[in-house]
Amino acid sequence: MSRTDQMDRDIDAVDVSDPSLYETDSWRPIFARLRSEAPVHYCADSPFGPYWSITRFEDIMAVDSNHQSFSSIGGVSIGDRKPDFEAPNFISMDPPKHDAQRMSVTPAVAPMQLQKMEPLIRERVCQLLDDLPERTSFNWVDRVSVELTTQMLATLFDFPF
């Protein structure tokens, strides 16, 4: 579905999970419309099933800080995982469990620690970018995002890299 289709349809039918919005970099007007007309928006029909979108900062902060009403335990992403599939991870935990897990990793990612790592981070980013192919398409996630994340996590956890 094109950006025009999304902008012209009834607000209830807008689907921000539509990949064409991001492939064509046309998502901004859709989100502006949602913030204006339906800041708390329910999409009943998407390829991933029904989901809620919260598009205003104040509302996002209210949801994020109220884990009793808005739990992350069921997951924080849309997708096709099976209802009985449980893969507990840090980001989809609620307090107090989340707080305990967060405390264990906070020292490694504290601003001062990251500042010490800045030269290494910059070196790795530059190397990855320099190694990218020119005038040909490639998968950014595979070539940059996954690679850089893997390298930095290996460093943070003192895993030989």
Final residue belonging to a domain, choices 82, 104, 126: 104
Q: What is the DSSP letter of 76?
A: S
7 and 64 belong to one structural domain: yes
Alpha helix locations (H) across 24-146?
A: 27-37, 57-64, 97-109, 111-130, 140
Residue 74: predicted pLDDT:
67
- pLDDT digit string (tens) for 142-158? 999 999 999 998 988 78
Q: For residue 158, what are the CA distances in angstroms to 53, 58, 150, 151, 154?
A: 38, 38, 12, 11, 6
Q: For residue 161, is it within any domain?
A: no
- The residue range of the domain holding 118 is 110-156
Residue 90: predicted pLDDT:
64
Per the structure, the count of domains in the chain is: 2
- Residue 49: is its pLDDT beyond 80? yes
88 and 147 belong to one structural domain: no
Q: In the chain, pLDDT over 90 holds for what percent of residues?
A: 45
